[in-house]
Amino acid sequence: MSLIAVTEVRKSFGSTEVLKGINLDVEAGEVIAIIGRSGSGKSTLLRCINGLETITDGSISVAGAQLIDDEVHLKALRLKVGMIFQQFNLFPHLTAGGNVMLSQTVVKKTQKAEAEATARTMLERVGLAHKFDAYPDELSGGQQQRVAIARALAMQPAALLCDEITSALDPELVAEVLAVVRELAAEGMTLLMVTHEMKFARDVCSRVVFMHQGRVHEIGRPEEVFANPQTAELKQFLGVS
C-alpha cells in the first residue's frame, strides 16, 4: 500500500479550479520532485496533503488513514506529515533548541526533558548541535532553514513535504540545505519536494512530477523526464525543443 495516496483530487478557490483531478501514489522511502510553472498548483497540492487546505473532491490518505475534513482527522494528519516552507518561520524570541522543542511540547504534550533530548538529536542530524542556544537572528538563512527541518523531524513524521525550501536563500547557502535533504533521502525518509533545483532532482529523486495547469502533465523517472520530455509544455518548461 502506498504511504501517500492522492486520488482524483480537485481543489477550487471560489469558482477557480486549481487542482483538476490529481492522482499520485507515493511509496514509503520515495523521493519525489514536483516541478512546474508558477501557478500550476504545486503548493496547493502539498497543502492539501498536509491538511492545510480542504479538498473539494477526491481523496487523500496518508499511512492508510483517510484525510477526512474534520478537525480531529486534520490534526492527526498534520502529525504524520511534516512541512517545510520557503520562509523558515522560526519564532525569533526562542532559541534554535526552543523552536525545535515547541511543537513537541505544545502539540504532542511531550515532557520538557524528552522534548529537549529529541531537539538535540534532531539539531545534530542537520549539523547544528552546537547552535542549540543560538537565536534565529544569530543564524544564517541556511542554518535557520536547517533548524526548520529539525523542527519538522522532531515530530517524527512519516513523510516530509518541502515547498521551495531553498528559494529564499542566498545562492551560497543552498548547498548546505540540499545536503541535509540528500542525507534524509539516503536514510529512507519519504520526501515530496517542490523545487527549482533540477540537478538535485536529477541526482536524488526517484520520480519527477511535472504539473501544468492543475494537472500531473508528465511523471516519470528523472532520466526519462529530463532527457526525454514527451509534451510540448514540459519541453518548453525545461527550455529544450
Kindly list the residues in this chain that would bind ligand ADP in the complex (CB under 6 A).
13, 18, 36, 38-44
Residue 50 contacts Mg ion per CB under 5 A: no
**Minimum distance from residue 158 beta carbon to ligand ADP (Å):** 23
Per rule CB under 5 A, is residue 43 in the interface with Mg ion?
Answer: yes
Query: In this complex, which beta carbon is closest to Mg ion, that of residue 165 or of residue 234?
Result: 165
Give CA angle at 221 (218, 224), nearest 5°. 75
Angle of the 141-153 helix axis to the 171-186 helix axis, nearest 10 = 20
Helix, strand, coil % over all residues of the chain, rounded to 5:
40, 25, 35
Nearer to Mg ion, 116 or 164 (CB): 164
Extract the C-alpha cell encoding 31: 523521493
Q: How many CB atoms lie within 10 A of CB 4?
A: 23
Q: Closest distance between ligand ADP and the C-beta of residue 44, in Å?
A: 3
The one-letter amino acid at 241: S
The distance of closest approach from Cβ of residue 37 to Mg ion in the complex, given in angstroms and rounded to an integer, is 10
Least separation in angstroms between CB 80 and Mg ion: 22
Interface mask toward Mg ion for 3-42; x: CB under 5 A: ---------------------------------------x
Which residues touch 113 (CB under 8 Å, ≥6 apart)? none
Point out which residues bind Mg ion (CB under 5 A): 42-43
